[in-house]
């Protein structure tokens, strides 16, 4: 077991035990509820009662940031109770007093500790920790005190905001209009509530790619990205127990745009950084604006060392006094690769020299001991290549690994690297992207389970010095921002098994208990569906209009979640609706609308190919939905909260054709037909884009299989403008037709098999449609299992024809080896859940060594070659020198070891970004071929090789065409064949 | 030299000499004009004068088909002169008599021969020959006779119709409403006009794939494909000197649908056949209707030999008495491959047995000597594979080779095969296709030069026993049908150098001399443009909207030909308009409309990507043009000739998505945008689909090159609903901006270089657009040649940047070796002309043996690797065992031999059909790489290896990316870089 995993496994265990024994908390910080409306016991602290409001007492010598937050607490208490407590550095005279202070900065706190009335053991020398506790008779004349004591500046601040959140002020009260909970009284329960230290030292966000939304919004509301705006961000971060910020730098220069920006950040308690390619606290725009003052003006260390040195020195002189994390190294101008210095070795040497020189600057301008100044070095693109080729920087520098831009970690530290690097490792993560493989900047597309799964890897592999997440315009990514930051505080508390509960607790905090479960379900579902494929890359071809009713099923899923959200919206009190709209209803409905636009455009394309008169109506649906998308945008911008968020929904999101967002939203292209004034009948069937009688080939319905009975259909439609007349007839009594209508009114005839009327074996039948220019015969093939086949297939995933598909979690047996085991990842991916190996740091095991195995009994109709397709998570090969492997076997055949990254070096994985397909699909595929000597019962086994691989689904298909390990998935369907259950 | 080519080269020479010395003919049969309105000399024959009409005299014992055509002549004379001659088997009493008869069947003709008054030397024993001559005092009491004498039935018929055509009755008088020429008098000039024998013995058409057009039309006008319809076809064929027909067989059974069909065919003089897969005169539908009466009803010689034998015997008993050509062998049911009999050898044996048995049936039911009955055996798909594998059939059977379905011959006989096969070889050709690689059934897409080039190969390589052409619904393929049949009579008279004159003569025959040259030009151009790419496979992506103004140029070319056609239409007398509309104006305008629909849809897609507000207006243009297409169809069907041709333009032709025609016409999908109520400015440039300021990358215009000055452009457009304001400025004085508007009113700024203001070398400049959200800088790079460069490039195809492209015909030198030479193919292909080797049967020459060579002096700006792309004709590897090769070299480097079919066996050429790309593009590409050690002057040489390869264009491009011999052409443009001239 990896050393760090012991610690966090224990922490996870503790979290589980804790949540099982204490009441649910309205805060997402502490796991317990510490505020009550009425005093449950005499020793509860009366913060606000009918007759009293406890005054707030702080030390004037405490951190200004702490003093400032006392004011926030004062306001928060008033927000909740409509009663404003006094707040003062003077000792108040009241029987119940709230004492707020930082150990070593607050005389009152220090006195309580000295008097033995406050245990400071979990504060002294701790990072960002706090204790909230009641002390009886803390001081003469004071009966009872509520003490909020911090180990340091942010410890105290977090403690204060914890009380605010417990009282009912959401961290998002301003940023998402969450109304404070109303209380007539508030008591703090007796007890001692200690935060402990955060697992990740620096936890922050990167406001990035701020045009158009944030730029236009801040221009309208604040006059720019100035301190009026940034203090709103600082407060939010502190309420979320974050401490770190990379400011907007696309069109903006944080330190120059408003000199109060860095000053107030420091005062508030925010550690400032610059993005991964902006060294020594100077933003790119500062260079753009001022480069002509520095040497020859070139961003090139070979030709302009002196200019760059001066530029950086000026920055350090300006900002060195603040709490900063300094970005080290250098890339080319504008986040591009540096000019080649003459090959790999020369480039490495140059970069080493740059960092050495930068350290000297730090020693000169910030701290004579540069190792005392936190520094990061980001491994990005060509810089990661230098690192892989052996380039090393001083051990105290935190090395920052990045994800694939779509949320999959590309690299994690090895145990050896961890041992060697005192500065540790950090993660730069994306929940918003303007760049390759494609931009997603519009809406919340980040399921919690995805962040949980990947950041659990980061934590367990020890990359815990710093986590920073790219949040684009900040809004509307409220949910994943908080999840990411909460997880940074304690990753083990937001592992796979806590995600569902977290979501419900989040919903309860924001909207109260009544609808919390339903709201959590809506949130889980709209993010899950966006996790299938982000709206920006859904196209009319994404979901199959031909097979498995796929487009219909996807549309129905979306419509269901929207209906649920709309019902909740209607049921909520008016004051909660703005928050619910922006956090839940809008992203659900807007995402659904984009899915529907594309699905209807896909239907339009299909109908056009089939010559359906309803082609034009399908095009009109696309137009209506496109207008609905715009209407939703307008509501968000102009009506929500009285226009408070105008422009924050300006991002174009339909019609992407490169990695960039489209210039404007472009409706998917639709086909149109001109109807002839004739009564002309067309026929189409499930699974075929042809129309008869025009098409030359036969009309053959998908084969019916008695192992998983399903219905198919024959559509009959007008091709011309006139109404049609036709007859449809099943030629055999075992073919059952049921009349229905499609959404646009075409005739749909459901086809089912009356299995009781069929003998076992293969039956061939026909459905005849007349009224067409020549009669159309639709062929029906049905395969019915014999008693012997039924007996042999019992308890197995069985097929008489075509593929068998089943969920990974349907394994009938999971074996554990030495504590290493397959566990369920709830909600993960395309199905209800997936499976992965725990602990995630387990050592790799190659066959034939015993390893945790999954067993799937199958029944296959004939001997011969079969292809197994594994639908896997899009996890990357983050362990250097190793792929991402799993072993597949049938029965006692030798296991085949498959590697998602077998073709390292070649496209599409060579650039170590997610391959384009995986990045769009959010899955990876592995295929293997197996020769089975017999028909009937077999046992399919999946055996662990590397941990972290996630198995979602398995498809076993007779080989019909040349299959390759990396061949594209069958093109006809996004999700593939539906899963079946075992035969009963 | 190939043996047959000597003969036809002499014939071609004779034809050229003849056409040079005699007046142009109004007939496309005889090369001389034999009818005059007034008597130019006393010895002209007075057919119709103010005072007399010469009676027609035939022998009652002559062929009924001849007697029938005398009636046609009678009617034709009346059509022209409004005077109806008497026609009788009784000897008329008149001073001037027309004597019509067949040698050996007409007593009068035989008597004239016996009396030495008619020279029968070119009739006796000849095939389908005739003589037209005047005889003085042929009989007592007759002063003068016009004698039309035939060597056989069709010889006489052709002679009669030749007179009709000379009088001014077009063979298409009924089929295309060509009004007969009006004459008050008609004299036949003295002289002896002999047809000679046709080069191709059987010349015919295949009416095929007759749904929807022909089926619906014949249903409405004739009540089906009965003898009322077919006699119209027979007459047409005979007027065109054809003799052979494969009847419609998709939904029809010629012999059963109307028993008069075969009887009248024989009487008229038409030799009937069945299509390539319908053996022994029985159509596929006859089997469909009757198969249950025959054995087990299976179309399988292994399981149902007896049934099939009886089926075939019944057919021979029924039709054996008529003049037929019997199709031999067998394919599977419905033109599919036969069921496998157990591998190649077994399949070959089975097919041999089938043919042996079929020969026995012929001996039994038709002729005891089956070698006397003409038979064909078609090499198609799997049958050709058997043939290639050595399967042989009796030598007297004519082996029928097919084209690629898009007009390129797949196979021609070798000299050895010709020697061995007494039955010779025939060609099955397509000018209409329902099948792979794609269907084209709508309109005339067949340039004469294409038929001329390919059928010249057929003739020169000796495949002259039989030519049959698939004509779909017959109309609207009037032009290529006649060209094909005329060429079958005498291929050498319609070689590459006669095509232009033929077209003009055709126009003159149909519409008189006044507009003939212009009409010929319109015909040549609309078919040429359809030869670039058939309308069915033009898509919005075909012609580049980005590069070289390609889409604009294509649209302009089409609009120009339509304008010309409309001007002629307006100028023509009313009675000629129906014919002109259907033969010229409609196909020109309808084809242009499809091109425009796609070009505008392409612009719509581009504009949408650029966010232009004009996106919607572009979509509306597509809709208007789509309606225009339908209006043209309706005019053809409902208004043309009073509705005479209703349904013949029913064929769908827009929106093909497989090889099949679409169910209905589908408008290309168009994108739409919703305009925001803002004034937002976008900028785009030539060659880039991006729009600025949104796009991340730089805006850089295509590099300007002083060797071929050109203009480029910057477009500035509204992105929102409001009018925009902006300024555009050239930052350097040598950049010249000129304001204009695009077709939809966006601002276009032409960019040109004032070369006089520039020094030599590379200049960098900028154009700035302000008024955008951030200013947009468009970069301008201009390269100006120095005096030294100019001197070095003189007389050369030169470039300072990028590719040099030039027409093959621009070669500065063509060498000839032993009479083998590069000759110009006028009008061929994408440019004004192309080059090919003559004689086409020349032996291959491999380097370093001297071979005919083309020289192109080039000037290239730097040393390094260059790629040469040859744009070639789509000719196939019709010589077995040999590819299609040409050699390329620079200077004294060894020649590289390139082979269009180097990858025989692999896709896309493996199936021996044209590869899909070649079939759509009507070109093939060859690429070669060359390393040049020096910049500056070089000599590019193309050297013949195999004849028949056609060179259209050459592109020399610096290598920028991995290039492969068979790599797709650069995707960005259909035609590639424009051709340049040599530097002066």
The per-residue pLDDT of chain B, averaged, comes to 93
Q: Is A609 on the interface with B (CB under 8 A)?
A: yes
Closest alpha carbon within chain B to A657: B609
Task: Write the DSSP symbol of residue B590.
Answer: H
pLDDT at B927 over 50: yes
pLDDT at B207 over 70: yes
Chain A residues closer than 8 Å to B662 by CB = 609, 611
Chain A residues closer than 8 Å to B663 by CB = 609-611, 682, 691, 694, 719
Q: Is A672 on the interface with B (CB under 8 A)?
A: yes
Residue A521 has a pLDDT of: 98
Residue whose C-alpha is closest to residue A586's, from A633, A622, A554, A642: A633
Chain B residues closer than 8 Å to A670 by CB = 669-670, 672
Return the structure tokens found at A9: 């496994």
Q: What percent of chain A has pLDDT over 90?
A: 87
Residue A382 has a pLDDT of: 78
The verdict on a CB contact (< 8 Å) between A605 and B655 is no
Chain A residues closer than 8 Å to B694 by CB = 660, 663
Mean pLDDT of B205-215: 96
Closest alpha carbon within chain A to B719: A664
The verdict on a CB contact (< 8 Å) between B666 and A609 is yes
Chain A residues closer than 8 Å to B670 by CB = 669-670, 672
Q: Is A660 on the interface with B (CB under 8 A)?
A: yes
Residue B960 has a pLDDT of: 62
- Consecutive H or E run containing A646: none
Question: From the CA of A29, how many Å to the nearest CA of chain B?
Answer: 41
Mean pLDDT of B589-608: 98
What band does A915 get if pLDDT is binned at 50, 70 and 90? low
User: Which residue among A655, A660, A672 places its CB closest to the CB of B608?
Assistant: A655
Closest alpha carbon within chain B to A625: B674
Residue A903 has a pLDDT of: 62
Q: What percent of chain B has pLDDT over 90?
A: 87
Question: From the CA of A577, how many Å to the nearest CA of chain B?
Answer: 27
What band does B31 get if pLDDT is binned at 50, 70 and 90? confident
Per-residue model confidence as pLDDT tens digits over B559-571: 999 999 999 999 9
Residue B24 has a pLDDT of: 52
User: Which residue among B608, B667, B694 places its CB closest to the CB of A673?
Assistant: B667
Residue A23 has a pLDDT of: 43
Q: Which residues, in sequence order, are CB contacts of A452 under 8 Å at separation 6+?
A: A483, A487, A494, A495, A496, A498, A499
Q: Which of A433, A626, A674 to mutate to test the interface with B (most CBs of B within 10 A)?
A: A674
Chain A residues closer than 8 Å to B669 by CB = 604-605, 608, 669-671
Question: From the CA of B668, how many Å to the nearest CA of chain A?
Answer: 6
Q: A182: how many CB neighbours lie within 10 A of its CB?
A: 12
- Consecutive H or E run containing B360: helix B344-365
The verdict on a CB contact (< 8 Å) between B666 and A615 is yes
Return the structure tokens found at B487: 């060429």
Q: Which residues, in sequence order, are CB contacts of B677 under 8 Å at separation 6+?
A: B720, B721, B722
Which range has the worst mean pLDDT, A790-794, A965-969, B636-640? A965-969
pLDDT at B694 over 70: yes
Spatial contact of A71 and A101, defined as CB atoms under 8 Å apart: no
Closest alpha carbon within chain B to A615: B666
Chain A residues closer than 8 Å to B719 by CB = 663-664
Q: Is A679 on the interface with B (CB under 8 A)?
A: no
Residue B915 has a pLDDT of: 63
ipTM above 0.95, yes or no: no
Q: B137: how many CB neighbours lie within 10 A of its CB?
A: 11
Per-residue model confidence as pLDDT tens digits over A277-291: 899 999 999 999 999
How far apart CA B858 and CA B853 sit, in angstroms, is: 16
Residue B382 has a pLDDT of: 78
What band does A10 get if pLDDT is binned at 50, 70 and 90? very low
pLDDT at B963 over 80: no
The verdict on a CB contact (< 8 Å) between B663 and A676 is no
Q: Is A899 on the interface with B (CB under 8 A)?
A: no
Residue whose C-alpha is closest to residue A838's, from A362, A457, A418, A308: A457
Spatial contact of B933 and B863, defined as CB atoms under 8 Å apart: yes
How far apart CA A772 and CA A752 sit, in angstroms, is: 23
Q: Over the Cα atoms of chain A, what is R_g?
A: 31
User: Which residue among B655, B673, B694 places its CB closest to the CB of A608?
Assistant: B655
The verdict on a CB contact (< 8 Å) between A671 and B655 is yes
The per-residue pLDDT of chain A, averaged, comes to 93
Q: Is A655 on the interface with B (CB under 8 A)?
A: yes
pLDDT at A19 over 90: no
Residue B170 has a pLDDT of: 98
Mean pLDDT of B219-245: 98
Residue B21 has a pLDDT of: 38
Chain A residues closer than 8 Å to B691 by CB = 663
User: Which residue among B608, B609, B674 places its CB closest to the CB of A630?
Assistant: B674
Q: Which residues, in sequence order, are CB contacts of B121 under 8 Å at separation 6+?
A: none
Return the structure tokens found at B577: 């308009």
Q: Is B831 on the interface with A (CB under 8 A)?
A: no
Per-residue model confidence as pLDDT tens digits over A67-80: 999 999 999 999 99
Per-residue model confidence as pLDDT tens digits over B254-283: 999 999 999 999 999 999 999 988 999 999
How far apart CA B204 and CA B481 sit, in angstroms, is: 9
Q: Is A623 on the interface with B (CB under 8 A)?
A: yes
Q: Is B609 on the interface with A (CB under 8 A)?
A: yes
Chain A residues closer than 8 Å to B676 by CB = 664
Per-residue model confidence as pLDDT tens digits over B855-902: 999 999 899 999 999 999 999 999 988 899 999 999 999 999 999 988
User: Which residue among B660, B666, B669 places its CB closest to the CB of A696?
Assistant: B660
How far apart CA B378 and CA A95 sit, in angstroms, is: 112
Residue whose C-alpha is closest to residue B597's, from B625, B561, B557: B625
What band does B337 get if pLDDT is binned at 50, 70 and 90? confident
Residue A277 has a pLDDT of: 86
Q: How many CA atoms lie within 13 A of B762 on its CB side?
A: 8
Query: Is B356 buried (19+), middle (13-18) or exposed (0-12) by CB count in 10 A?
Result: exposed
Mean pLDDT of B784-813: 95
Q: Is A778 on the interface with B (CB under 8 A)?
A: no
Per-residue model confidence as pLDDT tens digits over A213-243: 999 999 999 999 999 999 999 999 999 999 9
Q: Which residues, in sequence order, are CB contacts of A884 under 8 Å at separation 6+?
A: A875, A876, A877, A899, A900, A901, A946, A948, A949
The verdict on a CB contact (< 8 Å) between A674 and B627 is yes
Chain A residues closer than 8 Å to B696 by CB = 660
Mean pLDDT of B578-599: 98
Q: How many CB pairs under 8 A join A and B?
A: 96
Residue B903 has a pLDDT of: 62
Which residues between 683 and 722 in chain A have a beta carbon less than 8 angstroms from any beta carbon of chain B? 689, 691, 694-696, 719
What band does B339 get if pLDDT is binned at 50, 70 and 90? confident
Q: Is B574 on the interface with A (CB under 8 A)?
A: no
Q: Which of A602, A652, A664, A693 to mutate to test the interface with B (most CBs of B within 10 A)?
A: A664
Closest alpha carbon within chain B to A633: B676
The verdict on a CB contact (< 8 Å) between A626 and B672 is yes
Per-residue model confidence as pLDDT tens digits over A745-791: 999 999 999 999 999 999 999 999 999 999 999 999 999 999 999 99
Return the structure tokens found at A559: 């419509």
Residue B23 has a pLDDT of: 44
Closest alpha carbon within chain B to A436: B696
Per-residue model confidence as pLDDT tens digits over B116-137: 999 999 999 999 999 999 999 9
Chain A residues closer than 8 Å to B673 by CB = 664-667
Per-residue model confidence as pLDDT tens digits over B75-96: 999 999 999 999 999 999 999 9
Mean pLDDT of A45-54: 96
Question: From the CA of A262, how many Å to the nearest CA of chain B?
Answer: 27
Mean pLDDT of A916-935: 92
Question: From the CA of A673, how many Å to the nearest CA of chain B?
Answer: 5
Closest alpha carbon within chain A to B656: A609
Residue A960 has a pLDDT of: 62
């Amino acid at each position: 077991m990896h050393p760090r995993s012991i610690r966090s496994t224990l922490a996870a265990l503790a979290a589980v035990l804790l949540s099982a024994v204490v009441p649910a908390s309205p805060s997402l910080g502490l796991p317990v509820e510490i505020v009550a409306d009425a005093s449950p016991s005499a020793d509860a602290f009366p913060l606000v009662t009918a007759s009293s409001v406890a005054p707030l007492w702080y030390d004037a010598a405490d951190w200004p940031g702490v003093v400032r937050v006392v004011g926030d607490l004062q306001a928060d208490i008033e927000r909740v109770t409509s009663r404003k407590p006094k707040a003062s550095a003077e000792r108040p005279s009241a029987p119940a007093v709230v004492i707020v202070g930082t150990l070593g900065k607050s005389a009152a706190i220090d006195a309580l500790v000295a008097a033995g009335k406050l245990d400071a053991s979990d504060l002294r020398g701790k990072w960002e920790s706090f204790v909230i506790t009641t002390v009886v008779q803390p001081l003469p004349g004071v009966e009872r005190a509520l003490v909020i004591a911090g180990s340091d500046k942010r410890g105290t601040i977090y403690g204060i905001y914890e009380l605010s959140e417990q009282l009912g002020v959401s961290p998002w009260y301003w940023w998402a209009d969450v109304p404070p909970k109303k209380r007539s009284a508030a008591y703090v329960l007796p007890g001692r509530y200690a935060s402990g230290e955060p697992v990740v030292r620096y936890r922050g966000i990167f406001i990035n790619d701020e045009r158009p939304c944030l730029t236009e919004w801040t221009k309208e509301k604040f006059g720019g990205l100035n301190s009026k705006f940034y203090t709103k961000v600082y407060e939010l971060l502190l309420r979320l127990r974050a401490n770190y910020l990379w400011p907007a730098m696309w069109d903006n220069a944080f330190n120059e745009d408003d000199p109060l920006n860095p000053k107030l950040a420091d005062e508030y308690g925010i550690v400032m950084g610059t993005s991964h390619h902006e060294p020594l606290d100077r933003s790119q725009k500062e260079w753009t604006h001022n480069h002509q003052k520095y040497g020859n003006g070139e961003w090139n260390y070979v030709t302009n060392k002196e200019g760059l040195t001066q530029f950086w020195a000026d920055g350090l002189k300006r900002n060195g006094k603040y709490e900063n994390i300094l970005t080290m190294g250098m890339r080319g101008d504008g986040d591009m690769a540096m000019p080649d210095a003459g090959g790999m070795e020369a480039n490495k040497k140059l970069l080493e020299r740059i960092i050495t020189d930068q350290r000297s600057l730090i020693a000169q301008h910030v701290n004579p001991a540069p190792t005392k100044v936190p520094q990061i070095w980001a491994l990005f693109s060509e810089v990661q290549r230098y690192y892989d080729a052996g380039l090393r920087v001083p051990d105290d520098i935190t090395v920052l690994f990045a994800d694939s831009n779509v949320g999959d970690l590309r690299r994690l530290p090895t145990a050896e690297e961890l041992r060697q690097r005192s500065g540790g490792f950090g993660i730069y993560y994306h929940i918003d992207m303007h760049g390759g493989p494609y931009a997603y900047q519009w809406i919340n597309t980040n399921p919690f389970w995805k962040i949980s799964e990947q950041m659990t890897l980061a934590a367990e592999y020890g990359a815990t010095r710093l986590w920073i997440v790219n949040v684009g315009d900040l809004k509307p990514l409220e949910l994943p921002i908080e999840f990411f930051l909460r997880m940074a505080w304690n990753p083990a508390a937001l592992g796979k098994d806590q995600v569902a509960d977290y979501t419900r607790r989040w919903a309860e905090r924001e909207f109260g208990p009544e609808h919390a479960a339903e709201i959590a379900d809506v949130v889980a579902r709209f993010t899950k569906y966006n996790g299938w494929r982000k709206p920006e890359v859904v196209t009319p071809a994404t979901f199959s209009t031909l097979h498995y009713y796929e487009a219909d099923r996807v549309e129905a899923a979306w419509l269901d979640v929207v209906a649920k959200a709309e019902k909740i919206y209607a049921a909520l009190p008016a004051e909660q609706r703005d928050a619910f709209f922006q956090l839940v209803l809008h992203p659900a409905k807007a995402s659904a609308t984009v899915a529907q636009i594309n699905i209807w455009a896909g239907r339009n394309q299909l109908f056009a190919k089939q010559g359906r008169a309803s082609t034009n109506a399908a095009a009109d649906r696309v137009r209506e939905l496109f207008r609905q998308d715009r209407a939703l945008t307008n509501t968000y911008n102009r009506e929500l909260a009285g226009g408070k968020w105008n422009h924050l929904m300006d991002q174009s999101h339909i019609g992407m054709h490169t990695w960039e967002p489209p210039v404007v939203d472009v409706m998917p292209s639709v086909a149109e037909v001109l109807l002839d004034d004739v009564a002309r009948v067309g026929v189409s069937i499930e699974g075929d884009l042809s129309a008869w009688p025009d098409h030359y080939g036969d009309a053959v319905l998908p084969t019916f299989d008695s192992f998983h009975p399903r219905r198919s259909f024959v559509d009959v439609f007008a091709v011309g403008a006139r109404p049609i007349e036709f007859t449809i007839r099943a030629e055999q009594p075992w073919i059952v037709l049921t009349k229905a209508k499609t959404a646009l009114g075409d005739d749909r005839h459901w086809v089912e098999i009356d299995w009781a009327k069929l003998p076992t074996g293969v039956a061939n039948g026909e459905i005849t449609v007349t009224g067409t220019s020549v009669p159309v015969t639709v062929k029906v093939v049905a395969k019915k299992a014999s008693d012997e086949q039924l007996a042999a297939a019992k308890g197995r995933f069985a097929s008489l024809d075509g593929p068998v598909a089943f969920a990974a979690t349907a394994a009938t047996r999971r074996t554990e080896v030495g504590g290493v085991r397959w566990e369920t990842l709830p909600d993960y991916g395309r199905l209800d859940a997936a499976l992965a190996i725990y602990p995630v740091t387990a050592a790799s095991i190659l066959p034939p060594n015993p390893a945790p195995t999954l067993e799937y009994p199958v029944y296959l109709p004939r001997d011969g070659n079969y292809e197994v397709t594994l639908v896997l998570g899009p996890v990357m090969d983050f362990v250097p020198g190793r792929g991402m492997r799993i072993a597949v076997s049938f029965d006692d055949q030798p296991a085949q070891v498959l590697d998602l990254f077998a073709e390292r070096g070649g496209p599409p994985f060579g650039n170590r970004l997610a391959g384009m397909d995986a990045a769009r699909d959010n899955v990876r595929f592995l295929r293997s071929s197996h020769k089975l000597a017999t028909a009937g019962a077999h046992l399919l086994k999946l055996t662990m090789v590397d941990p972290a691989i996630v198995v979602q689904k398995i498809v076993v298909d007779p080989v019909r065409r040349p299959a390759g390990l990396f061949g594209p998935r069958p093109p006809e369907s996004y999700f593939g064949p539906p899963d079946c259950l075992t035969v009963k």
